[in-house]
Chain A
């Protein structure tokens, strides 16, 4: 009798855990289908998926304005964090229930466009009076163009700046970073700002590509990926930059930080005097009292020979190929991409709008920090390296480069291993 109870319990346990798992995947799969249910009420609901909760408030304001001008269309925002966003989107794509409109990124565009998940916007753009591709930076337009078909319209762009703690500089009697700074200067000042007891470090050199070593690699004339789609990690200039970058960690001038969220915490807790962070952190940093009071931002230092670079990337607004309301979805994306929508986005400080000439409105949106430097860097900005399967080699590169940050592996070996792995992945690309 007892034995049977045990097996019954086991069976019911399995059933319950199975149910739980099922419940989770269901919510993901159906999230895009809300539109059809809600539309029976008379209004057409367009879902808009995004991953940055910092931008949600501003975008909601824009959506309200759009709704007041286009009666009968309602915009439903779906905010999912960066890592889960792509898992959610892939599951939704597999189940044929993508959100009507959503953010696209250079890492993933190839996968979605080549599998016919996105609506071809070329005709719609040609017919539109409000969207002209010549109004956006060319590099950004190109990211979302495949076989002469445009799959997304640039929404915004971002660059990386050098954030610094004014109070720490004042205390040490040093002058703030500016455009005259070089690698040597950065290293010297970092040394002066490091106390050595682990309470204050001069610089934050985390294991992070876009807000970390990518910038130094391109400043040094190195590359991550060549035009021929080969890895640039074994390029001597790349290795040299990686050596310079990891030296901050090995010399004890930067804390060893590997966790993504811990990077900003290190700044907000006054652990590091300087650090590289992208323009999209603006609203997050401005709302932190400590940072708003003590921090400012400057252009990135140049390499010792004067070469400058910063990593530049931009998101796009895309429409699902299977949306039930293509006209309404396009109206929304058109509004987001129009001069009016883009200016509004800049004024609200949501992000640097991609539309040429709206940068000043963004600069004026924030008086706390000297954010004009993000715009100044655009002229020598380098598009974030990408290929058809960026996501595959980017995270594996972290796994292989890690040893050079912990000091277990020489930088050169780590870079060469990364190059080997990356070339194998690139070879498998169609």
Chain B
């Protein structure tokens, strides 16, 4: 890539200019989409975070950094940062490991592959709100199916939703359950790009399947694995709907489960303080950016591009 630029810098020929025009025309839909739907809202959010917002978007008052000052002294914001990170740390590794195992199994020659792939992918298509409603019933303290089954094997009822020590794990279980299928499909696609020759050659050399997995599969699927990790972390950091549907402000586990996006939603729409909500979102953006930059740097150590 870098070479191309230095070459063309001399004097682009008519043909290259023409090619550039086409290139811009072809990426225009994506770029326009990104600018209108992502970049502009991000800038507007940044702008709004310096204001005390009035009702119905009228009468915003400029307050400088006071939303940020308030945010850094607000214990609840730090609770939310902790909860969001904790949720990500629980959900992402478990999801990726399970997805990887499933992908390898479903990429091998077993009967009914298609059926299994579909089954694992179904939670991804279902609406998160609907999923959470069903899980909420399963988790129900008095009448839930899970506690009923636990009581059959002599385990005391667990208060899945209202116990502050348990609630985040209950939310994480739903998160893992609903994203495993998606990561798995991506990983299967990555696995199918690995040429069969490598396995055949290692078979002749007498490598065991476990050795093959760690020395061939993992390195060669690492670009896809990297992509899955980056997107899962971003997705996990933005967790909202499951917590919103399951844990109300009145719940005792609210402080231990409230995520940054949930806090943003409450500030912006419930207490109609959009300026403060925007400041919280900017904090989330900063955290996600830092994590992503670290991952981009770290990938050089372990990701193999063929």
Interface residues of A (CB under 8 A from B): 1-3, 6, 9-15, 18-19, 21-22, 87, 90, 93-94, 111, 114-115, 117, 207-208, 255-256, 258-260, 262, 265-266, 269, 271, 391-392, 395-396, 398-399, 402, 405-406
* Contact assessment for B305 and A207 in the assembled complex, using a CB-CB cutoff below 8 Å: no
How far is A225 from B113 in the complex, measured between Cα atoms in Å?
64
The answer to whether A399 touches B254 (Cβ under 8 A) is yes
Closest chain A CB from B185 CB (angstroms):
13
Taking A22-B37, A115-B55, A391-B272 as known contacts, 13 extra A-B pairs with beta carbons closer than 8 A to each other, sorted by chain A number, are A6-B226, A10-B230, A12-B30, A13-B231, A14-B34, A90-B55, A111-B272, A255-B142, A256-B162, A259-B161, A262-B140, A271-B142, A395-B270
- Cα-based distance from A262 to B140 in the complex (angstroms): 9
Instruction: Tell me whether A10 and B231 are in contact (CB under 8 A).
Output: yes
Contact A90 B269 (CB under 8 A): yes
CA distance A6 to B56 in the complex (A): 40
- Whether the Cβ atoms of B249 and A9 lie closer than 8 Å is no
Q: Mark B58-77, 1 if CB is under 8 A from A, else 0.
A: 10000000000000000000
Closest residue of chain A to B231 (Cβ to Cβ) is: A13
- Give the chain B neighbours of A259 by CB distance below 8 A: 161-162, 248, 250-251
Interface of A (DSSP majority class):
helix
Q: A13-B231, A398-B250 are in contact. Are A391 and B271 (CB under 8 A)?
A: yes
Number of A-B residue pairs at CB separation under 8 A: 91
Candidates B58, B140, B250, B271; contact of A402 at CB < 8 Å: B250
The answer to whether A258 touches B56, judged by C-beta atoms less than 8 angstroms apart, is: no
B223: Cβ under 8 A from any A Cβ = yes
CB-defined A-B contacts under 8 Å, sample of 8: A2-B223, A90-B55, A93-B56, A256-B252, A258-B251, A396-B271, A398-B250, A402-B254
Q: Does B305 lie within 8 Å of A260, measured CB to CB?
A: no
Does A399 lie within 8 Å of B38, measured CB to CB?
A: no
Which residues of chain B (256-276) have a CB below 8 Å from chain A?
A: 266, 269-272
CA distance A396 to B273 in the complex (A): 13
**Cβ of B270 and Cβ of A6 under 8 Å apart?**
no
Bound-complex Cα distance A396 to B269 (A): 14
Q: Chain B: which residue is nearest A425 at the CB level?
A: B271
- With A6-B226, A14-B38, A15-B34: A399-B55 Cβ-Cβ less than 8 Å: no
Which bucket holds chain B's interface residue count?
20 to 34
* Per-position binary interface string of chain B over residues 33-52, scored 1 when its CB falls under 8 Å from any chain A CB and 0 otherwise: 11001100000000000000
Contact of B227 among A6, A22, A271, A406 (CB under 8 A): A6
Residue of A nearest to B253 (CB): A258
Evaluate contact between B227 and A258: CB separation under 8 angstroms: no
Q: In the assembled complex, which residues on chain B have CB atoms less than 8 Å from the CB atom of A6? A: 223, 226-227
* Distance between Cα atoms of A113 and B251 in the complex (Å): 33
Q: Please, which residues of chain A bring their CB within 8 A of the CB of B112?
A: none
- Chain A: minimal CB distance from B284 (Å): 15
Closest 9 CB pairs of A and B: A18-B37, A258-B250, A94-B57, A258-B251, A406-B252, A94-B56, A398-B250, A2-B305, A93-B56
CB neighbours of A265 from chain B (8 A): 143
Docked complex Cα distance between A402 and B258 (Å)? 15
Task: Indicate if B306 sits at the interface (CB-CB under 8 A).
Answer: yes
Smallest beta-carbon distance A430→chain B, Å: 10
Interchain CB contact under 8 A, A258 and B252 = yes
Contacts of A266 in B (CB 8 A): 142
Interface-centre pick from B37, B161, B223 (highest chain A CB count, 10 A): B37
Q: A9-B227, A391-B271, A395-B270 are in contact. Are A260 and B250 (CB under 8 A)?
A: yes
215-254 of chain B: CB within 8 A of chain A: 223, 226-227, 230-231, 248-252, 254
Give every chain B residue within 8 A of A18 (Cβ-Cβ): 33-34, 37-38
Residues of chain A within 8 A (CB-CB) of B252 are 256, 258, 402, 405-406
Contact of B30 (CB < 8 Å), options: A11, A22, A93, A406: A11
Q: Are B33 and A15 in contact (CB under 8 A)?
A: yes
Which residues of chain A come closer than 8 Å to B30, judged between CB atoms? Answer: 11-12, 15
List of B residues within 8 angstroms of A11 by Cβ: 30, 34
A138–B231 Cα distance when bound, in Å, is 58
Chain B residue numbers with a CB within 8 Å of A14 are 34, 38
Considering the chains assembled together, what is the distance between the CA atoms of A258 and B162 in angstroms? 8
A3 — which chain B residues lie within 8 A by C-beta?
Answer: 223, 305
Chain B residues near A19 (CB-CB < 8 A):
33, 37
